[in-house]
Amino acid sequence: MSNGRTIAIDFDGVIHKYSMGYHDGTPYDSPVEGAINAIKKLKNKGYDVVVFTAREDLEPVDEWFRKHCNGWSLEITNKKPPAIAYIDDRAIRFTNWKDILNYF
């Protein structure tokens, strides 16, 4: 994460389909269509990609990557890393507090 071009990508629902929700706590689903190819393209463009998750145990996520991505893995964290962008299926783009309160 040293080049100032880090993109942080949420795991569940963005990379891992997560079709049954949390289920038993282990990653069980296939990749979201296009996710692996998109990550490879971002890396080829010179971005550092960090996967973030709310999961406590990161080893199953790393194993999932090795299984679904021909053995390669990425930096995986359960802490929000410094990044130029966050890709998350549950995010709400902040514009101002009035809009946020109207959303809810």
pLDDT at 73: 75
- CATH number for position 70: 3.40.50.1000
Give how many domains the chain has, as a whole number.
1
Expressed as residue numbers, the domain containing 73 is 6-103
In whole angstroms, give the CA distance from residue 32 to residue 100.
28
**In sequence order, what are the beta bridge partners of 16?**
12, 31
| Phi/psi-derived region of residue 64, left when phi > 0, alpha when psi is between -120 and 50, beta in every other case | alpha
pLDDT at 3: 61
Low-confidence ranges of the chain (pLDDT < 50): 1-2
Does 1 reside within a domain? no
